[in-house]
Amino acid sequence: MRDLVHPVAAADYWQKSALRRYLSARIFGAVLIERKRKSGASFSSEDLLAPLVTVLEKQESLIFFPEGTRGGGDELG
């Protein structure tokens, strides 16, 4: 089942280093999502959701972790 289930994760975090890129792609099979627009770039919500739709169209599953961005204390960032 591991090949059919994909965690959804923040691209900016998981693309920071070669090790993180390897883990997210090869070990976890993660679907990476951009959380922020790159300067000067514009995209719609459909563009942001396209990687998720692609996985769902293959009838595979997504795992969302609702805890949100890491914050500095008891509150979410």
Would you state the pLDDT for residue 71?
A: 61
In a domain, 54, yes or no: yes
Would you state the pLDDT for residue 69?
A: 60
- The pTM for the full model equals 0.72
Digit-coded pLDDT (tens) for 11-53: 999 999 999 999 999 999 999 998 776 666 666 666 788 899 9
In a domain, 10, yes or no: yes
End-to-end CA, the chain: 33
The number of beta carbons lying within 10 Å of the beta carbon of residue 72 is 6
Residues 6+ apart with CB under 8 A from 12: 34, 35, 36
In a domain, 72, yes or no: no
Structural domain range at position 57: 2-36+43-63
Would you state the pLDDT for residue 77?
A: 54
Would you state the pLDDT for residue 22?
A: 97
Q: Which residue has the tokens 């994760």?
A: 9
Q: What total of structural domains would you count in the chain?
A: 1
